[in-house]
């Protein structure tokens, strides 16, 4: 991705969540993304221009710069043309109302009207404010403009000590959405589609404390869910034990064993258009399960095993003509031959073969690489990249 497509303009308005945007600015800069920041007058009551200027390595802009600008071009025009993505966070009820009605009375709102790039908005306010009919009307009015991408609000402890809806989503979730928009340019090519994704490893227990498992963290499935959500899909994510939370807007269902995952996937399958099986599901389980912890001295020297249900095969048998099923094949050595065999044998529409024996690839890594193969004979390389980028590659290659 060229530097010309890595420019993010951030507008910060006056809410206590403004301090969290410092993490967003810092993270984006560390990822090699150019960042410019506009602070409203109210935002400066919470954080200073010096703080964000230090984190972004560039001057922070305020209303004083707008009214006293000596640039050859008006500052709001210059910033609007510069940005590839415009993030406004936290978005207050006041600025939301202005944007909904096309009002422009400060540098931030003038720059919004002077720009054409996608705008990502992350509101934050008290629960009663967020639930006001007028605020919800303004929110829906803004989202009716396809230029705007809304993140909604989370529930939790607010600055007023109330627990409820209105919290701004956390910085890592905002950063992921920004990364997606930089990749896609804001397209919603999965709008109206229902995407069902499996993620993470399963655990097959011998007794209450011992199990057969694998090192899968589910990060690839999480990235697939993020990418699909950001491209407009209705997303359901069925995942094993994980140390992360699914993005706001994703229906997440946690399971433990392969049997549980199979039951949930089959229950959700009929409503899905695209099914992506990225989970590392167990192939076998202990034949016998003890409801009490086994003493070390009675553990068997040879553990009898039993097969588990082949979830992918079961789904393939139920697949309707309009449904598309994508599998994953985590391999060492030759990754293509076994992946092609799995593609044909399990009646998949496509498969993603990734080498887990390569550096920064596979289980536990934040990065990945793969070969994408489909039933039409295409073999497309996904170079080493972040798992979110790889998820977007997959959806780019896979045309429904």
One digit per residue, pLDDT tens: the chain, 400 residues? 334 579 999 999 999 999 999 999 999 999 999 999 999 999 999 999 999 999 999 999 999 998 877 677 899 999 999 999 999 999 999 999 999 999 999 999 999 999 999 999 999 999 999 999 999 999 999 999 999 999 999 888 777 778 878 899 999 999 999 999 999 999 999 999 999 999 999 999 999 999 999 999 999 999 999 999 999 999 999 999 999 999 999 999 999 999 999 999 999 999 999 999 999 999 999 999 999 999 999 998 899 999 998 999 999 999 999 999 999 999 899 999 999 999 999 999 999 999 988 888 888 899 999 999 999 999 999 999 999 999 999 999 986 5
pLDDT reported for residue 398: 83
Kindly name the residue from 22, 117, 160, 385 that is annotated as catalytic.
160
Give 128's contacts (C-beta < 8 A, 6+ positions apart): none
Beta-sheet strands, E only, within 83-203: 85-91, 119-123, 148-150, 154-157, 163-167, 194-199
**Given this model, what pLDDT does residue 400 score?**
54
Q: Which of 202, 175, 325, 194 is nearest to 257 (CA)?
A: 202
Does residue 198 contact residue 281 with C-beta atoms inside 8 Å? yes
pTM recorded for the entire structure: 0.94
Question: Which of 137, 174, 133 is closest to 153 using CA atoms?
Answer: 174
3-state secondary structure of 255: coil
Gyration radius of the chain's alpha carbons = 24
Residues in the chain: 400
- pLDDT score, position 195: 98
Which residues lie below 8 Å from residue 161, measured CB to CB, with a gap of 6+?
none
DSSP states of 177-194 as a string?
HHHHHHHHTT--TTTT-E
CATH of domain 3-184: 3.40.50.1950
Domain 194-397, classified CATH 3.40.50.10300, yes or no: yes
Torsion angle defined by CA atoms of residues 41, 47, 49 and 55, in that order, rounded to the nearest 10 degrees: -150
- All CATH 3.40.50.1950 domain ranges of the chain, comma separated, are 3-184
385 annotated active-site: no
Closest CA to 87 of 160, 156, 33, 31: 33
Task: Classify residue 142 as left (phi > 0), alpha (psi -120 to 50) or beta.
Answer: alpha
| Chain center to CA of 56 | 23
Task: Give start-end residues of each CATH 3.40.50.10300 domain in the chain.
Answer: 194-397
H or E stretch covering 374: strand 367-374
């Amino acid at each position: 991705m060229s530097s010309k497509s890595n420019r993010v303009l951030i507008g910060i308005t006056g809410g206590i969540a403004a301090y969290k945007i410092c993490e967003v600015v810092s993270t984006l800069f560390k990822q090699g993304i150019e960042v410019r920041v506009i602070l409203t007058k109210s935002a400066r009551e919470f954080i200073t221009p010096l703080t964000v200027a230090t984190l972004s390595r560039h001057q922070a802009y305020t209303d004083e710069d707008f009214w006293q600008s000596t640039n050859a071009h008006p500052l709001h025009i210059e910033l609007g043309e510069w940005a590839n993505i415009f993030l406004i966070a936290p978005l207050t009820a006041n600025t939301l109302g202005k944007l909904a009605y096309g009002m422009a009375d400060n540098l931030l709102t003038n720059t919004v009207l002077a720009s054409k790039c996608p705008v990502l908005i992350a509101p934050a306010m008290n629960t009663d404010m967020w639930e006001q009919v007028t605020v919800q009307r303004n929110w829906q009015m803004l989202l009716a403009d396809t230029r705007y991408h809304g993140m909604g609000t989370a529930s939790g402890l607010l600055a007023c000590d109330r627990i409820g809806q209105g919290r701004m989503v956390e910085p890592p979730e905002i950063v992921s959405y920004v990364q997606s928009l930089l990749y896609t340019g804001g397209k919603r090519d999965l709008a109206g589609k229902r995407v069902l994704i499996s993620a993470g490893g399963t655990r097959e227990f011998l007794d209450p404390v011992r199990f057969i498992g694998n090192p899968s963290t589910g990060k690839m499935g999480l990235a697939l869910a993020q990418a699909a959500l950001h491209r407009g899909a209705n997303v359901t994510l069925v995942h094993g034990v994980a140390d992360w939370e699914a993005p706001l807007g994703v229906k997440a269902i946690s399971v433990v064993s392969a049997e549980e995952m199979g039951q949930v996937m089959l229950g959700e399958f009929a409503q899905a258009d695209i099914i992506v099986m990225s989970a590392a599901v167990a192939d076998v389980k202990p034949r016998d399960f003890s409801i009490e912890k086994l003493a070390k001295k009675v553990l068997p020297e040879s553990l009898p095993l039993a097969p588990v249900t082949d979830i992918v095969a079961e789904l393939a048998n139920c697949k309707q003509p309009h449904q598309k099923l994508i599998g994953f094949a985590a391999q060492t050595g030759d990754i293509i031959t076994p992946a092609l065999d799995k593609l044909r044998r399990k009646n998949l529409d496509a498969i993603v073969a990734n080498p887990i024996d390569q550096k920064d690839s596979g289980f536990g890594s934040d990065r990945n690489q793969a070969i994408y193969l489909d039933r039409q004979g295409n073999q497309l390389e996904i170079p080493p990249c972040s798992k979110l980028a790889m998820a977007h590659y997959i959806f780019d290659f896979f045309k429904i």
